[in-house]
Amino acid sequence: MISNQVDPLGRARWEVLGLFADDDAARRATTWAREVLESASVDPSGQQLRALRALRRADRRLSLPAARYLLTMARGSGEGAEDRAASDRSRAAARRRARRRSPLLE
């Protein structure tokens, strides 16, 4: 089945990996984000808007979703948050499919 739904988390992840294009891109990007936030004296958990702004000012190529992804990774909640988001999306898609089903098919 072909879908026109866009996975914003996946797109942000690929954008970040493209900016830090090497074998260890995810670790290097996370380290870079932590260094930027530390030099800007920004707490990534408590000051999310300032943290996003600091990341995007440090590298203007970052889109907002990519900066949010980096911020999540810098806080240390990256992989778990990504897994939860994926499972939430799959549950939401299952609910949408269940609602679209015709009563004649029952």
Q: What is the 3-state secondary structure (H, E, C) of the chain?
A: CCCCCCCHHHHHHHHHHHHCCCCCHHHHHHHHHHHHHHHCCCCCCCCHHHHHHHHHHHCCCCCHHHHHHHHHHHHCCHHHHHHHHHHHHHHHHHHHHHHHCCHHHC
Average pLDDT, rounded, for the chain: 79
What's the pLDDT at 16?
83
Asked whether the predicted pLDDT for residue 76 surpasses 60, the reply is yes
pLDDT one-digit tens code per residue, 26-65: 888 899 999 999 999 999 888 999 999 999 999 999 999 9
Closest by CA position to 66, among listed 6, 2, 12 = 12
Report if pTM > 0.75. Answer: no
Question: Looking at residue 32, what is its pLDDT?
Answer: 92
